[in-house]
Amino acid sequence: MNRYVFGMLVVLATSLMGSSFAIGKIGLSHVSPLLLVGIRFTLAGIIMSLWIGKKRLPASKQDWMKLLLIGLFQTTIVMGCIFLSMRTISSGETSILTFVNPLLVVILGTAFLGLKYRWSQWIGVFVGFAGVFVTLGFHLQLSTGTLLGLGSALSWAIATLMVKKWGARFNHWVLTAYQMLFGGLLLLLLSVIAESPRLELNATSIGVILYLAILGSIVQFATWYYLLSRGDPGKTSAFLFLAPFFGVLSGWLILEEVIHSYVYVGGLCIFVGIFLVNWTPGNGNR
């Protein structure tokens, strides 16, 4: 692939990932958190499932349950934690904490799947967690919003390992569509159980929902999976560190959020840590 096209698609995918935090926070003024993400992913899942048709659907109940479990961790818990956290902390801080997930993948993958990582990746883990400590203002008094942000990262890491273990069983478009659909439906159910659902239908709320469902979910996933399929997945995934940068930038541009200087320093450490964890030098493995 032409490197300029590759670069533009990387910027498109990661900017959509990052900007979804700020756009989502706008939506919270009109829609309750769990209902907002429930509508977002249910709508995105329905559109994608209709688009892919019956392309290599799972044949067994066990495989459908695996898809449901992936959707629970990748969409329901991750997005529920993200949007609940933004009620008390900035969208920029939430995006930084959420994208700690590649660092957690290294730890959990070593502990539970016996995966082996290079020394540079372990350095990335320590640099990344140092960045989290700095981002939190050099203290460990974690607020509810901060805990939820870290919870989203942990759940994403668990989902990543599930996909690593089970992903080969599914067509990746089927996996993407149905994990979003199942996760979205679970979020709608959780909204009824755990919150007082609120939905103000107006131009802003409709625009936010359509942006998040179409651009922030379908276009983002389609672009990212295309990049992964056209290049080396290890090297491509290193560019995920751009997503929290765009999250902080969009929070500043769109929401006029004030970002303290230590957040920039902590965010830089996290970006470096994620880069070291994901980067595959030369032709090496993982």
pLDDT along the chain (286 residues), means of 10: 84 92 94 96 95 86 94 95 91 85 85 83 85 71 85 91 85 89 96 94 96 94 78 64 83 87 85 79 51
Q: Which domain holds residue 44?
A: 3-278
Domain for residue 283, yes or no? Answer: no
- Which helix (H) or strand (E) segment holds residue 170: the answer is none
Q: How far is CA 275 from CA 46, 158, 258, 268, in A?
A: 34, 19, 26, 10
Residue 64: predicted pLDDT: 95
Residue 283: predicted pLDDT: 47
Structure token pair of residue 275: 């880069």
Residue 285: predicted pLDDT: 44
Q: How far is Cα 213 from Cα 75, in angstroms, rounded to an integer?
A: 13
Q: How far is Cα 91 from Cα 82, in angstroms, rounded to an integer?
A: 9
Domain for residue 284, yes or no? Answer: no
How many CB atoms are located within 10 Å of the residue 243 CB? 24
3-state secondary structure (DSSP) of residue 169: helix
Residue 258: predicted pLDDT: 82
Full DSSP string of 182-223: HHHHHHHHHHHHHS---B--SHHHHHHHHIIIIIIIIIHHHH
Q: How far is CA 274 from CA 73, 131, 166, 250, 270, in A?
A: 21, 10, 24, 20, 6
Structure token pair of residue 26: 């706008």
Q: How far is Cα 284 from Cα 135, in angstroms, rounded to an integer?
A: 32
Residue 173: predicted pLDDT: 86
The conformational region for residue 60 under phi > 0 = left, psi -120 to 50 = alpha, else beta, is beta
Domain for residue 94, yes or no? Answer: yes
Residue 152: predicted pLDDT: 95
Residue 24: predicted pLDDT: 94
Query: Cα 152 from chain centroid?
Result: 8
Domain for residue 285, yes or no? Answer: no
Structure token pair of residue 253: 């541009």
Domain count, the chain: 1
Q: How many CA atoms lie within 13 A of 124 on its CB side?
A: 25
Domain for residue 286, yes or no? Answer: no
Cβ-based neighbours of 100, under 8 Å, separated by 6 or more: 128, 129, 132, 150, 153, 270, 274
Structure token pair of residue 174: 């089927």
